[in-house]
Structure 1
Amino acid sequence: MVSKFITRSLLALTAAGVWQTQVHAGGFAWGEANTDILYERGNATVQAGVTYVNPRRDFDTINGANSSDDPFSQDYAIPNVAAMGRISESLACAFTYTKPYGGDSKYGPQARAADAATPGSPNYYFGKKFHANEYGATCDVSFEMGKGRLHFLGGGFMQDFTYKAEAFFGTLRLEDDSAFGYRFGIGYDIPEYALRAQLMYRSQIEHKADGDFTPLALAGLLGPAPVAADGHGTLPQSLKLSLQSGVAPGWLVYGSAEWTDWSVLKTLDYNIAGLPPQQDQYNWKDGWTLIGGVGHQFTDKIAGTLNVRWDKGVGNGADIMTDTWSVGAGAAIDCGPGQLRVGGGVSYLTSGSQSTAKGANFNATANGDWAYALTASYNIKF
């Protein structure tokens, strides 16, 4: 049998995500809504935190020449907030907020020159940035079954979308204030043994965005004032299986496997008034994420965890989105009225290449690169 401390601290570390960031590997995936807070058995629980990611992806060669550009991937931060209220022994609901998707790239002078020199290159980008906010509500209906409880989870979320692309021709801005999706799942847990199994599905989202295009090099054709623009694209569905169990007093093991349907993102299509239809090509493959780890209770107030993660690369040659291997560590520390959770990780981004023959704006290669992440959150139960 494992202690109540293991149930409260180690399950929080592994399920709620001390280090759950994909670090530029699994497509545009960033944060994950903390619906695991629904397994808390108190009357109410609030958790808030943030993860900072420092990806260091750069080009090794551009059009066959050694690159001296700085890393094009930019730092970002992912907030994560969850609040759970227990309505009855069998019903609890949670409200969550996070940034599930995002990306931020700025290209150096050598990449810009290669883009401009490529015959037929339509965009000549200086940089691209986008993010999505998710506001969700999920409820859990549970029943006693055997030594534990069977859980049915479901709810909906609203997701917005903001996109900005700066290029030689001008700056494109697109925004979708709201698109709606849903999630549902089934789980089973035996707190006495720190055992939990869960299967969770998250739906895909269709974004239809409006905005404008401010001409730069195209000012002679379109005029200097912004013109109307619109765009559309799909962000993927996913399915995640999570397992964990106490294996000895003070010890817990856990793992998960997640499939993400990144192959729906073939292109981001957009229209600019006065110009032919445009698109950014991705042609991504489906993604897989596998995680395995162990947790241990060190003292009555401190627990820790260590995990290994693999993200399958989704790139198909239009950009460089390769496999990533990660090691993460975290700790849960009882302090004050609640619990402080801190963690960090390091990722190795494997080498890869892109080519104009597969939809890239220019040919380039990348050697293995590194990415780093730090996270902190605080949890209070009522």
Structure 2
Amino acid sequence: MVSKIITRGLLALTAAGVWQTQVHAGGFSWGEANTDILYERGNATVQAGVTYVNPRRDFDTINGASSSDDPFSQDYAIPNVAAMGRISESLACAFTYTKPYGGDSKYGPQARAADQAAGLPASSNYYFGKKFHANEYGATCDVSFEMGKGRLHFLGGGFMQDFTYKAESFFGTLRLEDDSAFGYRFGIGYDIPEYALRAQLMYRSQIEHKADGDFTPLALAGLLGSAPVAADGHGTLPQSLKLSLQSGVAPGWLVYGSAEWTDWSVLKTLDYNIAGLPPQQDQYNWKDGWTLIGGVGHQFTDKIAGTLNVRWDKGVGNGADIMTDTWSVGAGAAIDCGPGQLRIGGGVSYLTSGSQSTAKGANFNATANGDWAYALTASYNIKF
């Protein structure tokens, strides 16, 4: 029998440790909607937090010459908000917000010069920088039933996702935006709170974005004029399937892990059109991604629990860019303070070396040595 205090601590570790300090996740993955809040047995729970990520990816060589450019990957922040209300013993619903996908790159003078020297095929626009992000607003409900010593859960709901894209180049600035696209998630889970045991399988659908916007000419002002011209684009962000497991293994100790498949192979290109110009595209040609996580948690005192986890993200790049394997170590703590619980953590990632080549769709040849990324996260949870 697991005592009440240990049970509380182990469940806190689940929230503090499995929220995954995403130092540098695979592909364009950023945040994940906090649907775990549906397993809380109180009448209502609210959690809000933010993760700050400092990736440090840079080019080691560009077209065979040593590079002195600064890191091209830029810092970013991932908000995460969830509010759960229990309607009955068997029904609870949660509203969630996060940024599930994003990317932000600014290229140095050597990379810009190499891009410009490549000429102007459909995939080359002499980029200074690219930035995009997606916001997800979701609602998910959980219907649960007693089964054996625990409860069987059926989870499902929908979400609205927007998309904003900006690319600055020698020729001008492209802006695209999709106000709303819709998707869904569903899953099944089983938990025994007495032993901090939980198993869950969750599916999230892919999203098709069709965006409108404009292009403000710079070098092309002589051809298109200086006023913005109409533009549009389309692309697909992937579906995913995630299996999560956890269990108490001894008084005050918890082990957990997850395996997630993400269908990044759907992102071959981002296609767009600018009035007065031929069709354009950004090439990715990515492979499917896999993320594996394993961790352990421990209850130190009545009010403090801690966790340590290791994460591996399979590289999705296929040579058109440098998206390699990533190894991460994260640590976190859950601290009862005030009316709720403070959850803090941090992590460090090692981005393995890699290369890109024009033969595989890149605008120029380049290599990257192993690089590092860092993250800090904090959230606060209140139960009613």
Category of TM-score, reference length = shorter chain: over 0.9
Distance 1:120 1:280 in 2: 8
Per-residue deviation at 1:12? Answer: 3.9
CA distance, structure 2, for counterparts of residue 323 and residue 242 of structure 1: 21
Match runs of 1:75-114 below 5 Å: 75-114=75-114
1:221-263 deviation line (CA, Å, top 9, x unaligned): 1111100000000000000000000000000000000000000
Shift of 1:20: 2.0
Moved more, 111-120 or 31-40: 111-120
Distance (Å, rounded) in 1 between the aligned partners of 2:181 and 2:332:
34
Q: Aligned equivalents of 1:167 and 1:144: distance in 2?
A: 58
Cα 1:274–1:246 shift into 2, 3 Å: same
Deviations 1:297-318 (A, max 9, x none): 0000000000000000000000
Residues 21, 377 of structure 2: 8 Å contact kept? no
Q: What SS is found at the alignment partner of 1:114? A: helix
Provide the rounded CA distance (Å) in 2 between the counterparts of 1:68 and 1:118. Answer: 25
- Aligned equivalent of 1:13: 13
The question of whether the paired residues in 2 share the 8 Å contact of 1:25 and 1:324 is answered with yes
- Answer whether contact 1:301 1:334 (CA < 8 A) is retained: yes
CA distance in 2: counterparts of 1:272 and 1:21, whole angstroms: 39
Cα drift, residue 120 of structure 1 = 7.3
Report how far residue 121 of structure 1 moved.
Answer: 6.0
Deviation, structure 1 residue 365: 0.2
Q: Give the percent of matched residue pairs that are identical in Structure 1 and Structure 2.
A: 97
| Contact 1:25–1:321, Cα closer than 8 Å, also in 2 | no
Shift of 1:208: 0.3
Is contact 2:128-2:170 (8 Å) kept? yes
Shift of 1:8: 3.8
**Structure 1 Cα separation of the partners of residues 220 and 7 of structure 2:** 61
Deviations 1:37-72 (A, max 9, x none): 000000000000000000000000000000000000
Q: Given the superposition, is the C-alpha separation of residues 168 and 204 from structure 1 closer, same or farther in structure 2, using an over 3 Å criterion? A: same
Shift of 1:122: 2.5
Distance across 1 between alignment mates of 2:244 and 2:364 = 40
Q: Partners of 1:373 and 1:5 in 2: how far apart?
A: 30
Q: Which moved more, 1:18-27 or 1:69-78?
A: 18-27
Q: Distance in 2 between matches of 1:161 and 1:289?
A: 24
CA gap of 1:203–1:17, structure 2 versus 1, over 3 A, is farther
Q: Deviations over 1:110-160 (max 9, x none)?
A: 000000568776211000000000000000000000000000000000000
Mapped contact 1:348–1:369 kept (Cα < 8 A): yes
Which stretch shows the higher mean deviation, 109-118 or 280-289? 109-118
User: RMSD of the TM alignment (CA)?
Assistant: 1.4
Runs of at least 5 residues in structure 2 that lack an aligned partner in the other structure: none
Work out whether residues 12 and 305 of structure 2, in 8 Å CA contact, stay in contact via their aligned partners in 1.
no
**Structure 1 unaligned residues grouped into runs of 5+:** none
| Secondary structure of 1:318's aligned partner | coil
User: When the two structures are aligned, how many residues end up with a matched partner?
Assistant: 382
